[in-house]
Structure 1
């Protein structure tokens, strides 16, 4: 079986690559489980200071693989396990003592966009495109974004982005604060490496403590938001109408 996530440790940096290019790196259980394992390995390695998450091929990640919808919704228990696996990635990223960078190119959609928002820095290629499709299907967002995004961009913009599900470009990501910086696509990974090396020059404990302090102070309602999201997402996945909408898409 081809690895859905490839992880390479290079000095103080862990390069974690989503590797389902034939599906635009869409999220299935294999990818989510392998991503969790890659993040755990990087977390356990003392020499690793920064984790860079990026995608192989033409996209960062196109969100849930809708070809797996039947598997994800075959029972309430299966849906619960799927949603919790997605949410666990958020907790790994946000509670990590490493700095996590999202290097985004091509499509960044749904759950993958939510993971990117969880990262400490988000570099977008000028070719990046992104949107939240969940509400259009009758599903719900994850990743704590009902709290995180609202605090970052304000409630009105958060409602616009999540409710309407319109497709946006990298310029819009920078404008609303989802992107930290937009760079030419050919320079994306080089810029991510440059940022990682800059972070690695700082004292490890201070950087980790600052990340934790800021996240705890700024995202104090993360757990509550994710509890609401998990319940709502499970209901959405199990809805026959939502499943039909997703299949038509």
Structure 2
């Protein structure tokens, strides 16, 4: 892909403005942008395409409607029959993380409404996550007999410290945007009405900077601050595959 302005995927919108800012929007508002397999694959493709687009210099990542992303779509959850099926799904999730975090283009999050589970992970994967004042986030995975992905087992302790990360990942407490800013998980908190304008302004500031140095800064900061990123992704994959294969997980997801 090169120099493509707008792309529509099945569940994701991707548009680029004249400043070189590409906005990637989760587009399943009727289900609060919950993660089904189509959405997971589309997010990975949208970011990979954006990273390959020569005219895209910065990316805004947001969700259509009332939520950023409400986590796994329990209405479409199918219990995997084999370890191969489970691993294929988890690797698809981690492919999206690779494209967001390890791709060269800086990513500004515009986090609106709920960011739950995998949606919270995607918010943390952003380089500059801006949260709407009414937004909320939490990790329900442990209560669902599941495990987190998105390298958050390495990212979250680096942001908030091991003890707070242990609390956030284990107990599934719900956190508002202001607390997430105090913890260092949210970069900024703004009024809901100002969310997209602030995100777009930030992305344009990034787009105006020399791309070589911006990309180097993203790459080196991630490698230096979170040196175990790839190890975390591998360990999370194994743990999540085990969770997906347990029938208890399907029961809990259906009741969530």
Aligned with residue 65 of structure 1, among 50, 63, 73: 73
- The answer on 1:83 being equivalent to 2:90 is yes
Write the distance in 2 (CA, Å) between the matches of 1:74 and 1:24.
27
2:15 aligns to what? 8
1:157 aligns to what? 164
Superposition deviation, residue 160 in structure 1? 0.5
Gap runs ≥5 in structure 1? none
Write the distance in 2 (CA, Å) between the matches of 1:83 and 1:157.
25
Write the distance in 2 (CA, Å) between the matches of 1:217 and 1:134.
28
Superposition deviation, residue 2 in structure 1? 8.1
Superposition deviation, residue 201 in structure 1? 1.6
Write the distance in 2 (CA, Å) between the matches of 1:134 and 1:112.
12
Superposition deviation, residue 95 in structure 1? 1.3
Q: Is the partner of 2:39 in helix, strand or coil?
A: helix
Gap runs ≥5 in structure 2? 1-7
2:140 aligns to what? 133
2:219 aligns to what? 212
Aligned with residue 184 of structure 1, among 191, 196, 204: 191
Count of residues in correspondence between the two structures: 248
1:56 aligns to what? 64
Whether the aligned pair in 1 keeps the contact of 2:41 and 2:96 (CA below 8 Å) is no
Moved over 6 A (4+): none
Cα deviation, 1:195-247, whole Å, max 9, x if unaligned, reads: 01111121110111111111111111011111110010011111112221111
- The answer on 1:168 being equivalent to 2:189 is no
2:4 aligns to what? none
Q: Is the partner of 1:16 in helix, strand or coil?
A: strand
Superposition deviation, residue 68 in structure 1? 2.1
Cα deviation, 1:180-202, whole Å, max 9, x if unaligned, reads: 00000111000001101111121
TM-score, length of structure 1 as denominator length:
0.96
2:41 aligns to what? 33
Superposition deviation, residue 38 in structure 1? 1.2
Write the distance in 1 (CA, Å) between the matches of 2:230 and 2:49.
24
